[in-house]
Amino acid sequence: MVKLDAGNVLLKPSQRRQLMSWLKRAMHLGKRIGDFLLTIKLKRQGRLYDVRATVHDAAGDFKLGSRGADCRNAFRELCRKLALRLHDQALARRIAIA
């Protein structure tokens, strides 16, 4: 499940759809790990966009963050970090089970 808290930033519906398409890999990996909950918080601080993600899943909890001059780059960087971290958790969990 994914929760998006846009904070003080107005997102257009097209931006929300684009974010969900970037999160597809992370959601798939989270589903494979099990008990997946992703919360994304977006804030604008001055000229920067600050994006923070909190993840809870069966392998453990972690937090990630990203900042960027525009919302799109900050989201894209966060989605890449998130997919890498979930992939590492999935591999570690698979090794621990075997």
**pLDDT tens per residue across span 71-92:** 999 999 999 999 999 999 999 9
Is the pLDDT at 22 greater than 90? The verdict is yes
**In terms of residue numbers, what domain contains 52?**
2-97
Tell me how many domains the chain contains.
1
Confidence of residue 93 (pLDDT cuts 50, 70, 90): confident
**pLDDT tens per residue across span 34-74:** 999 999 999 999 999 999 999 999 999 999 999 999 999 99
Instruction: Report how far residue 1's alpha carbon sits from residue 42's, in angstroms, rounded to the nearest whole number.
Output: 17
Q: Please report the pLDDT score of residue 63 as a whole number.
A: 97
pTM (two decimals): 0.89
Query: What CATH number does the domain containing 45 carry?
Result: 3.30.160.100
Question: Which residues does residue 45 pair with via DSSP β-bridges, in sequence order?
Answer: 48
Q: Please report the pLDDT score of residue 96 as a whole number.
A: 84
Q: Please report the pLDDT score of residue 95 as a whole number.
A: 87
The 3-class SS string of 49-97 reads EEEEEEEEECCEEEEEEEEECCHHHHHHHHHHHHHHHHHHHHHHHHHHH
Instruction: Report how far residue 25's alpha carbon sits from residue 22's, in angstroms, rounded to the nearest whole number.
Output: 7
